[in-house]
Structure 1
Amino acid sequence: MSVRLEQARTIQQQGALSLRDALGELSKDALTTIRKNASVKNVSKLNREQLVDALVEQLPQSLSDELPTLLAMMDEERVTLLEHAAAKNGLVALGEGWTELMTQYWQELGLLFKRTSDQREVMAMPVELIPVVKQQLSKLDRKHIALNTTYLAVVKGMIYYYGALTHEQVGDMTARYPMFEQLQAPYMHIIINYRHYRADLGLNESMVHHYAIPDPSLIVREQSKREDLSFASFTVHQLQQAGKPHFTDRTEAHRLLVEALMQQFKLPQFEATVVADQSEFGIRAGLQLQELMEYVRRELQLNDDHLQQLLPRLIIMFNNTPQWCLKGYCSAQLSKDAQAVKSEEPAKPPVQLGRNDVCYCGSGKKYKKCCMNKHY
């Protein structure tokens, strides 16, 4: 009996996935993608069946050569998944939050394929690749993977505060933090590779942006109008926090709005927080004060009197929330800078304010003691 037949029988007995079975179900295009990603040479003219044979023969060695480069772009999540697969006969159960994009990512690398085992979906590593992956993981410096993980969180934090950045601007931002000089792969390669795995970061040929922005060029265009204004500075820790899933910067202004919604309108804390979170996102993304008021009016079905009661808190929220078009600053910060140079013409109030309401300019003073008399 040949060595290959013996190996195939062993695989079948163990219930593990063979490379031939994994590849045999794929289309020619899918096989070609794997071939290109693994840099398998001299097989571009083969038909589908011949390409399967060639990949079964050559993929383990090709992946052994390519894995160091691939691993240098990965974060802790992906490396840990590979470790688990290699340690558990190639099988990893799919967790809650698993997406088809993740399945596609691993299949296109030729490393993991979706299968059903014991009536549950798993990702399966072909048994021929397990020793290859184990060998390369044993050589891996996990400090570099931890740095990649930090870097990706920081990039997502940048996008939380800035909305959109050109690739060059991302590079400039990266250079602010000396720790990222130790990255083992080019910064855009790390970002692009991550975007193939997760869709919580927007990416096109020239920009990295918030995934919810349909046209990030509008944000970049608005930012470019403020040539004399540098991007707001944040620490690595601040950006890491902002890069976490579902993060909202719940500042004192956010707390005050939640408090008003609970006390004045008897909203449960959860509902009040949702309204404040949505308000924060809207302001960050460019919602103007009048639009914010209309959103809150519709959401809570408020009449004009009730909206006026809430207006001071909305103004505080609006003035103290960082905005994408302001390069991560909030309007109150820029108002203070403008006051420092004593601009000649004060801005008009955006809405009708009462004498005792908090002033729209962000000073924190009552309207009657601040900008009210400037308009008479």
Structure 2
Amino acid sequence: MNNSNIDKATYEKIQDGLHGLKEMTRKLEQKQELKIWSDISVPITIKDALTRLSKDELSAIRKRFEIKNASQLKKGELVELLSMKIPSLLETICLNMDEDGYGLVKEIIRNGGYIVEPKLTAHQLEYLRNSGMFFTGMYEGKKILAMPEEIVKNQFFQGNDKQFESIFRRNTEWIKLTQGLLYYYGTLSIDELVDLLNKYIDEPLSVSNYLLVMEHASSYYKQIRMDFIGFSNIRVFDQEKVKREHQMRKDSEFFPFSREQLLEAGEPEYVERNDSYLQFVNFITNNYEISRKEADVIVEECVYATNIGESPSHILQFLQSRIELQSTDMLKACMEEITNLMINSRKWFLKGFTTKELSAVEQKSFGLLTDRKNIVDSKTRKKIGRNDPCPCGSNVKYKRCCGR
């Protein structure tokens, strides 16, 4: 048997294995879907709602509320305990909500205890199910999100709107500002976040309350990640690298965004589409049979590649995997678009600055020579050649970046 036969046999085994894995994943997802949307009756008591859950799901709710000395309870005993505890914890639960979360609660109450076909993502439904307040199921052939009678009719929700309105507004502001900061800066320590947030809010940040609210937001919106380093945008996969890059620029401040810019960037799925971004999208749609939506996705991924430190050549390789670059002229034109995008896109590594902006700041701060023929690196004090990597950190040649 020759090598090509062995390779083919190995390839077929791998393909069979992948097919089996996909099939197993599909069946697990199907099983979970049936479980989430099993038949339910409404109105429903909290005891009946909890009884529908598995012991593991009940234990997850118990752990979320940090109810101690209950790990050994049987399912029926745990149902009884949670039925008693959850209504008394409503204030604790709701005080960590934002305006959208509390708005969902009020909508369900107005509709008599449930809403039909909730427009929520899978992870949002999972988060709500783990709260002990919300339950999913099929009612009269439709998917519903319901709350038990004891919660719907609870005194906490009778006339407390005005009292807690400011708290929900504050929580919403905290969440959006944090998501906006991380959209532009990538990763921040808790101390950095506190210092930055205090510049945009009216009252000093209550760190303990803030962390509880952000724990809710990170699970519900899936826009940020919390770990021992601090907080990160969900798409940052190497937090330590981002922090190292920040440390290399410790003499540079974070880019001073306006409050409005951060609130806008704090919206889920936000993408900053500046002139260079839109120019690249137009370039693709003008030269290829491709929808604007598809072109937008391609350019968004190019910006992400820039954010994680990919070189222009790697971004060009990615582009070649999505569109055909048949001629040398088209290859050069695409590289021009990539370079333009890279030097005008805000970067995590550059503390939210674009390459051009940071270069201007550094030239002003360090007194770099203005003669283009004698530009020196502010750190090494060595003369920069036109084909050398630009010292701003863009990964682009100096002549195509700040040396233009």
TM-score by length of 2: 0.74
- Could you tell me which residue of structure 1 aligns to residue 400 of structure 2? 360
Query: Using the alignment, how far apart are the partners of 1:329 and 1:142 within structure 2?
Result: 36
Q: Could you say what secondary structure the match of 1:179 adopts?
A: coil
Matched, 1:313 2:353: no
Q: 1:206 to 1:180 in 2, by over 3 A?
A: farther
Query: Using the alignment, how far apart are the partners of 1:254 and 1:347 within structure 2?
Result: 28
Q: How does 1:158-173 map to 2 (within 5 A)?
A: 158-173=181-196
| Preserved contact between residue 46 and residue 149 of structure 2 (Cα < 8 Å) | yes
- Could you tell me which residue of structure 2 aligns to residue 233 of structure 1? 256
Q: What CA deviation, in whole Å up to 9, does each residue of 1:198-243 have, x standing for no partner?
A: 3232222432212223332222222222221221111111011112
Query: Counterpart of 1:214 in structure 2: which amino acid?
Result: F
Q: 1:44 to 1:261 in 2, by over 3 A?
A: closer
Matched, 1:123 2:149: no
User: Which deviates further from its counterpart, 283-292 or 319-328?
Assistant: 283-292
Query: Counterpart of 1:232 in structure 2: which amino acid?
Result: F
1:299 Cα deviation after fit? 2.6
| Preserved contact between residue 113 and residue 152 of structure 2 (Cα < 8 Å) | yes
1:262 Cα deviation after fit? 4.0
1:17 Cα deviation after fit? 0.8
Matched, 1:175 2:202: no
1:167 Cα deviation after fit? 2.3
Number of residues paired by the alignment? 341
Query: Using the alignment, how far apart are the partners of 1:193 and 1:15 within structure 2?
Result: 27
| Preserved contact between residue 38 and residue 63 of structure 1 (Cα < 8 Å) | no
Matched, 1:21 2:48: yes
| Preserved contact between residue 72 and residue 185 of structure 1 (Cα < 8 Å) | no
Query: Using the alignment, how far apart are the partners of 1:299 and 1:321 within structure 2?
Result: 21
Query: Using the alignment, how far apart are the partners of 1:154 and 1:50 within structure 2?
Result: 42
Query: Using the alignment, how far apart are the partners of 1:117 and 1:213 within structure 2?
Result: 40
Query: Counterpart of 1:361 in structure 2: which amino acid?
Result: C
| Preserved contact between residue 67 and residue 136 of structure 1 (Cα < 8 Å) | no
Q: How does 1:148-297 map to 2 (within 5 A)?
A: 148-179=171-202, 181=204, 186-263=209-286, 268-297=291-320
Query: Using the alignment, how far apart are the partners of 1:265 and 1:41 within structure 2?
Result: 61
Query: Counterpart of 1:77 in structure 2: which amino acid?
Result: D
Q: Could you say what secondary structure the match of 1:69 adopts?
A: helix
Query: Using the alignment, how far apart are the partners of 2:266 and 2:104 within structure 1?
Result: 21
Query: Using the alignment, how far apart are the partners of 2:303 and 2:332 within structure 1?
Result: 19
Query: Using the alignment, how far apart are the partners of 1:238 and 1:113 within structure 2?
Result: 36
Q: 1:45 to 1:84 in 2, by over 3 A?
A: same
1:71 Cα deviation after fit? 2.0
| Preserved contact between residue 157 and residue 239 of structure 1 (Cα < 8 Å) | yes
Structure 1 unaligned segments of length 5 or more: list them. Answer: 1-13, 352-357, 368-376
- Could you tell me which residue of structure 1 aligns to residue 57 of structure 2? 30
- Could you tell me which residue of structure 1 aligns to residue 352 of structure 2? 328
1:55 Cα deviation after fit? 3.5
Q: What CA deviation, in whole Å up to 9, does each residue of 1:90-120 have, x standing for no partner?
A: 1122434431x33333333321111221111
| Preserved contact between residue 114 and residue 124 of structure 1 (Cα < 8 Å) | yes
Q: How does 1:46-85 map to 2 (within 5 A)?
A: 46-56=73-83, 58-59=84-85, 63-64=87-88, 66-85=89-108
Query: Using the alignment, how far apart are the partners of 1:259 and 1:196 within structure 2?
Result: 36
Matched, 1:337 2:361: yes
- Could you tell me which residue of structure 2 aligns to residue 11 of structure 1? none
- Counterpart of 2:133 (choices 111, 117, 137) is 111
Q: 1:306 to 1:44 in 2, by over 3 A?
A: closer
Q: 1:18 to 1:316 in 2, by over 3 A?
A: same
Matched, 1:349 2:387: yes
Query: Counterpart of 1:217 in structure 2: which amino acid?
Result: E
1:293 Cα deviation after fit? 2.6
User: Which deviates further from its counterpart, 111-120 or 36-45?
Assistant: 36-45
| Preserved contact between residue 151 and residue 180 of structure 1 (Cα < 8 Å) | no
1:82 Cα deviation after fit? 0.7
| Preserved contact between residue 276 and residue 341 of structure 2 (Cα < 8 Å) | yes
TM-score by length of 1: 0.79
Query: Using the alignment, how far apart are the partners of 2:100 and 2:336 within structure 1?
Result: 44
Q: Could you say what secondary structure the match of 2:346 adopts?
A: coil
User: Which deviates further from its counterpart, 230-239 or 194-203?
Assistant: 194-203
